[in-house]
Structure 1
Amino acid sequence: MNIKSLLIGSAAALAAVSGAQAADAIVAAEPEPMEYVRVCDAFGTGYFYIPGTETCLKIGGYARFEVKIGDDAEIHDIVDNNHSSWDAGSQAYLTFDAKSDTEYGTLTGYIAIEGDLDNSSVQAFYVDEAYIQLGGFKAGQYYGPWDKGLNGETDDIKGGALFNSISYTYEAGSFSAHVALDEIENKTTHPNGVGVTGLVTAALGGVSIDLLGSYDTEVEEGSIRALLSAEVGPGTFQLAGVWASDNNAYYNEAEWAVAASYAFKATDKLTITPGAQYWSDVAFAAGVDQWRVGLTVDYAITEGLAAKATVNYTDNDLTDGSTTGFLRLQRNF
C-alpha cells in the first residue's frame, strides 16, 4: 500500500466517523419567549397585569410598630392580665386588589390580611376584609361608613362598621348615595341581627358633608351621624355630631356626642391636629358625661415611612381623669 492510498483511506474513515457523530448530536431547544409583567395604569398607580390575563393586580399594605401608654394599655386588645401602664406591639397588614373592566363596570376582588403581634401568648392572624364589587354593587365583609372618623386620634365617633354586607353606591360627580344591608350577628344580644345603613355625601369646593344613619332591626334602635369637613387656611377643620336612640350594633358609646378637630399642615411633612369631644349619657347612663382633649402629630420621615404620636386627656363623671396615647412607626407600601 502506497502513501496515496493510505491518505485516501484515512480521510474516508474520518468522514464516516464524523457523519455518525453528527447524526447523534444534541440540538439545544429554542428558549420559550418570556412574558414580562406589564404595568396597568387603567386603575391608578401600583397595578400590573397578571401574566396571561387582562386582570390588574395591586399588592399593598403596611408594617407597624407601636408603643401605647395609659392605664391597662393594650395594643391589640389582647387580654394578658398584665395591667401595665404601657405596651408595645406590632401589626402586619397585606392587601390584594384585583380589577378588570367588564360590560357592567369595573369588577373588583379585594382581600386584606392582618396579623397582630404582642408578647402575649395569644396572637391574632386573620382575614380582615374580603369582598367582590361590580360597578356600584358590593358584597362581602368590609368596613362600612361608620369606620370614618375625624382627623387626628382624639375623637370616638366611629361605630360598628365591619360586617358581612350587600350594598349599592350611586355616584354622580360631587354627590353620592350609599345603602347597605348588614348582617349584625354577634354585635348585639340577638343572634339573627339585620341592619340597614344609608349614607348621603355632598361636596362643593373645599367643603363636604356626610349624613349617615343606621337601624338595628333586632333591638329596634338606630343611630345617626353628621360630619362636616372644610378646608380652612393651611389645614382642614372637621365637626361631627352623633346620636343613638339606645344601645345598638352601630353606636353604643353614648346617647349623643359632638367632636371637632383641626389638621394644621405646618410643612409638607408635618401635620399637627388638636381635637376635642364631649359625650352625654355615656353608655346610656343618665347624667353621666365625659369630655376629652388631645393632640396628634404626624410626620412623614421619608417616602413610605411615617411617624405618629398622640396624647389625650379624658375626664368622666364617675372616674378620675386619665392620660393615654401612643407612638407609632409605620412603613406603607
Structure 2
Amino acid sequence: MNIKSLLLGSAAALAVVSGAQAADAIVAAEPEPMEYVRVCDAFGTGYFYIPGTETCLKIGGYVRTQIAYDEDYNGTADWNPLTRGYLTFAAKSDTEYGALSGYINLETNDNGDTHLDGAWINIAGFDVGYFYNWWDDGLSGETDSIGSSNTLTNAIRYTYDGGTFQVGAAVDELRGSTLGYSNDGQATNDDVGVSGLLGFTLGGVTAQIIGSYDFNVEEAAFRALLTAELGPGTFGLAGVYSTDPNYFYDTAEWTVAAEYKIQATDKFFITPAAQYFGDVQTLDAIGNNSGDFDGGVDAWRVGVTAGYQITEGLRTLATVNYTEADEEDNVLTGSEDNRWTGFLRLQRDF
C-alpha cells in the first residue's frame, strides 16, 4: 500500500466517522416555557387571566381576630372573642357594554357559621343580585349608628357615576324585616323597598343624600352624609330622619353624628366622634323592639376609634364608645340608661 492510498483511506474513514457523529449530535429544540399565570392589568392590581379565557380574576380577603366588650341589655359585662375568615372573588371581562363583573363574598366565623355575604353581577351601571345597599355606607369610625342592620338584600340597582356627580335608584327585597305584621301575627318580610341616591365629589368634599321607602310598613327614611378634608384630617357629618321605624332605619326618629379622622402619621390615625339621637325606639314589656318612636327618649353617644398599620397587610383597630339615654328600655342601652361597648382587633388583609 503506498502513501497516497493510505492518505485517501484515512480521509474517507474520517468523513464517515464525522458524518455519524454529526447525525448523533441532533438535539431536539427546548419547549417554550409555559405561562401558567398571565397578569391582567386592565382592571387594576391583583387580577390574572383565568387560563384559556379572557376573563380576569382577583382573589382577596382577610383573617380577623378580635375581642369585644359589651354591656348587654341587662347591664352585665360580656367579653366576646371572635375569629373570622373572609374571601372575595371578583371576575371581570370586557364586553361591548363595558366591563362585565361578577362578585362572590364568603364569610366564616369561629362559631361554625359560614354564609354567603354577597353575590352579584355588575354591567353598564347595573347591579343585580345579593349585595349591601347604600345604607351600609357610613362614617369612617366605629362610633356612629346611621345605617341599618338589614343592608344585605336581593336587589336591582342602577348607578350613574359621572365622576363629579352620581345618581342612582334601587329596588330591594325586604328580607329579614321584623317590622309590619300580617293578620296571623307573622312578619310580612316579602315586600319591597325603593331607594334613590344623589351625590357629588368635588376636590376634597364628598356628599351623598339617600331617600328610601319601605312598602311593608309604609314609612320612609332619609340620610345626608358629608365628608371634607380639613387640616390634618377628614371631617365627617351625617344626619338621618325616619318617619317611623322601617327596614332602612329604625334606631331613632332623627339623629346627627360627627367625627374628625386625624391622620397622625402615615400608619396611625385616631377618630373622635359623637352622635345625638332624638326620640329613640323603645322596647316593649318583654324586651322586644316596640316598633314606634313614641317613647320620647333621647340619647347621646361619644367614642374614639384608633388604627395602626403594623406592616403591609397587617393592621390593628380599637374603639371604645359610651351611650347614655334619658330612660332605660330602649334599643340603644337596653334595660339600663347607659352602655359601654368596644373592641380590639388584629386583621391580616390580602
The normalised TM-score by structure 2 is 0.81
Task: Kindly indicate whether the alpha-carbon contact (under 8 Å) linking 1:97 and 1:111 is maintained by their aligned counterparts in 2.
Answer: yes
Query: Structure 1: which 4+ aligned runs deviate by more than 6 Å?
Result: 30-33
Task: Kindly indicate whether the alpha-carbon contact (under 8 Å) linking 1:110 and 1:132 is maintained by their aligned counterparts in 2.
Answer: yes
Structure 2 SS opposite 1:236: strand
The aligned residue for residue 174 of structure 2 is 184
Unpaired segments of 5 or more residues in structure 2? 1-27, 180-186, 282-292, 328-335
Aligned-partner Cα distance in 1 for 2:225–2:320:
23
Aligned-partner Cα distance in 1 for 2:213–2:337:
34
Task: Kindly indicate whether the alpha-carbon contact (under 8 Å) linking 1:35 and 1:51 is maintained by their aligned counterparts in 2.
Answer: no
Q: Deviations over 1:138-184 (max 9, x none)?
A: 10000111001112111000113211001111111211111111011
Work out whether 1:94 is the aligned partner of 2:87.
Answer: yes
Q: Deviations over 1:200-235 (max 9, x none)?
A: 111111111100010011211010000011000010
Aligned-partner Cα distance in 2 for 1:177–1:243:
20
The aligned residue for residue 134 of structure 2 is 145
Structure 2 SS opposite 1:70: strand
Distance change >3 Å, CA 132–CA 88, structure 1 → 2: same
Work out whether 1:250 is the aligned partner of 2:248.
Answer: yes
Pairing 1:267-282 to 2, within 5 Å after superposition: 267-282=265-280
The aligned residue for residue 330 of structure 1 is 347
Aligned-partner Cα distance in 2 for 1:264–1:183:
38
Which residue, 102, 115, 126 being the options, matches 1:126? 115
Name the Cα RMSD after superposition. Answer: 1.8
Aligned-partner Cα distance in 2 for 1:32–1:302:
39
Which residue, 315, 325, 328 being the options, matches 1:316? 325
Structure 1 SS opposite 2:135: helix
Unpaired segments of 5 or more residues in structure 1? 1-27, 74-82
Structure 2 SS opposite 1:146: helix
Aligned-partner Cα distance in 2 for 1:196–1:224:
12
Query: What is the identity percentage for the equivalent residue pairs of Structure 1 and Structure 2?
Result: 57
Which residue, 83, 100, 106 being the options, matches 1:107? 100
Aligned-partner Cα distance in 1 for 2:272–2:259:
6
The aligned residue for residue 307 of structure 1 is 316
Q: Deviations over 1:52-101 (max 9, x none)?
A: 1000000000000010012249xxxxxxxxx6521111011100000000
Which residue, 197, 209, 212 being the options, matches 2:210? 212
Aligned-partner Cα distance in 2 for 1:285–1:33:
73
Aligned-partner Cα distance in 2 for 1:72–1:199:
35
Aligned-partner Cα distance in 2 for 1:250–1:37:
44
Task: Report the Cα offset of residue 320 of structure 1.
Answer: 3.1
Aligned-partner Cα distance in 2 for 1:35–1:271:
42
Aligned-partner Cα distance in 2 for 1:185–1:56:
32
Structure 2 SS opposite 1:39: coil
Structure 1 SS opposite 2:51: coil
The aligned residue for residue 228 of structure 2 is 230
Aligned-partner Cα distance in 1 for 2:228–2:131:
27
Structure 2 SS opposite 1:95: strand
Pairing 1:49-68 to 2, within 5 Å after superposition: 49-68=49-68
The aligned residue for residue 71 of structure 2 is 71
The aligned residue for residue 23 of structure 1 is none
Letter in 1 for 2:158: Y
Aligned-partner Cα distance in 2 for 1:243–1:294:
22
Task: Kindly indicate whether the alpha-carbon contact (under 8 Å) linking 1:59 and 1:96 is maintained by their aligned counterparts in 2.
Answer: yes
Structure 2 SS opposite 1:185: coil
Q: Deviations over 1:263-307 (max 9, x none)?
A: 000000000000000111111133101100001101000001000
Task: Kindly indicate whether the alpha-carbon contact (under 8 Å) linking 1:183 and 1:195 is maintained by their aligned counterparts in 2.
Answer: yes
Task: Kindly indicate whether the alpha-carbon contact (under 8 Å) linking 1:72 and 1:86 is maintained by their aligned counterparts in 2.
Answer: no
